[in-house]
């Protein structure tokens, strides 16, 4: 699995060591004994049954939720459990765009929240990279399709050039064809901006297609019970999705999830 507890990797973007979370009033922890490291420039996918703590794990990685026990080691701070949140961004299932702001207005929000000068050129380049047209820039969220809203959300998450992108079921609300296109968009952006990503998804095919490593979590208390390396590197094409190798690996992951975990 990940590196052994007590020997944190200096190269990890973020690392958890024996991490546990137990909410007040609970008889058992939501997360228990999580050892996890996110490597530079990788996409790490996390799958598991509903309620196993996948979203809780993302919030721990984002430093939005304190640990009950264990450690969270931040970039370049091997002995610290704190990090600067300027180096990470999060995308949710809902695009969470402000309805009273245009696309450009929503893109400016991260600059305003961090007190940085708005990079108008960078905003336009990102929007164009994610497939939006100039005619879309002054539209309000109610005027956008679900796919366009998610493209804006992803572009907004990258506008401050984070080292780590956390994705909580970002493509769950779109149809399969659009989901596949958004998968390709994410791979293209990751290659261009060199960020690491952690993806929580219930879609096995998406996890197998996008990730460099895939983690399987158990039912509550949530634990990482298996790590599966993904064999393809640059060969993530439309043809890959229909190949026997892809179908076989998806089947193996599904079998592991059905083998008493759910």
Q: What is the pLDDT of residue 25?
A: 85
pLDDT digits (tens, 9 = 90+) for 209-249: 999 999 999 887 889 989 999 998 777 899 999 999 999 99
- Let me know if residue 189 belongs to a domain: yes
- Let me know if residue 18 belongs to a domain: yes
CA distance readout (Å), 94 to 33, 40, 147, 170: 29, 27, 11, 7
pLDDT digits (tens, 9 = 90+) for 39-56: 999 999 999 988 888 999
Q: What is the pLDDT of residue 82?
A: 41
Q: ω into residue 130 within 30 of 0, thus cis?
A: no
- Let me know if residue 5 belongs to a domain: no
The full DSSP string for 74-97 is BTTBTT-S---GGGEEEE-SS---
Token pair, residue 177, equals: 């064809």
Strands 88-91 and 164-168, how do they pair? Answer: parallel
The CATH number that applies at residue 122 is 3.40.50.300
pLDDT < 50 positions in the chain: 1-8, 77-84, 260-262
Rounded Cα distance between 154 and 74, Å, is: 23
Q: What is the pLDDT of residue 151?
A: 93
- Let me know if residue 4 belongs to a domain: no
74 and 227 in contact (C-beta within 8 Å)? Answer: no
- Let me know if residue 87 belongs to a domain: yes
The length of the chain in residues reads 262
Q: What is this structure's pTM?
A: 0.88
Rounded Cα distance between 10 and 8, Å, is: 6
77-93 exposure pattern, b = at least 16 Cβ within 10 A, e = fewer: eeeeeebeeebbbbbbb
Q: What is the pLDDT of residue 79?
A: 41
- Let me know if residue 9 belongs to a domain: no
29-51 exposure pattern, b = at least 16 Cβ within 10 A, e = fewer: bbbbbbbbbbbeebbbbbbbbee
Identify the residue whose tokens are 């999830």.
257
Residue 116: which domain range? 14-258
Domain count, the chain: 1
Cα Rg of the chain (Å, integer): 18
Rounded Cα distance between 127 and 148, Å, is: 10
- Let me know if residue 235 belongs to a domain: yes
Q: What is the pLDDT of residue 12?
A: 80
What residues does 36 pair with on adjacent strands? 16
- Let me know if residue 140 belongs to a domain: yes
């Amino acid at each position: 699995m990940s590196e052994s507890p007590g020997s944190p990797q200096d190269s990890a973007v973020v690392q958890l060591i024996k991490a546990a979370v137990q909410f007040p009033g609970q008889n058992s922890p939501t997360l228990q004994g999580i050892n996890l490291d996110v490597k530079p420039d990788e996409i790490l996918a996390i799958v598991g049954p509903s309620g196993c703590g996948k979203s809780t794990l993302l919030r721990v990685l984002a430093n939005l939720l304190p640990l009950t026990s264990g450690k969270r080691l931040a970039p370049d701070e091997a002995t610290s459990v704190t990090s600067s949140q300027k180096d990470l961004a999060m995308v949710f299932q809902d695009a969470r765009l402000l309805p009273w702001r245009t696309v450009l207005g929503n893109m400016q929000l991260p600059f305003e929240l961090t007190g940085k000068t708005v990079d108008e050129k960078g905003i336009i380049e990102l929007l164009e990279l994610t497939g939006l047209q100039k005619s879309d820039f002054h539209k309000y969220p109610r005027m956008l399709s679900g796919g366009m809203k998610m493209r804006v959300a992803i572009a907004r998450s990258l506008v401050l050039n984070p080292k780590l992108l956390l994705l909580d079921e970002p493509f769950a609300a779109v149809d399969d064809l659009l989901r596949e296109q958004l998968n390709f968009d994410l791979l293209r952006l990751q290659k261009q901006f060199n960020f690491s990503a952690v993806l929580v998804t219930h879609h096995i095919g998406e996890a197998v297609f996008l990730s460099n490593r895939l983690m399987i979590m158990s039912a509550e208390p949530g634990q990482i019970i298996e790590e599966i390396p993904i064999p393809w590197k640059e060969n993530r094409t439309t043809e890959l999705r229909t190949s026997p190798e892809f179908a076989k690996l998806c089947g193996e992951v599904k079998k592991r999830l059905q083998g008493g975990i759910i």
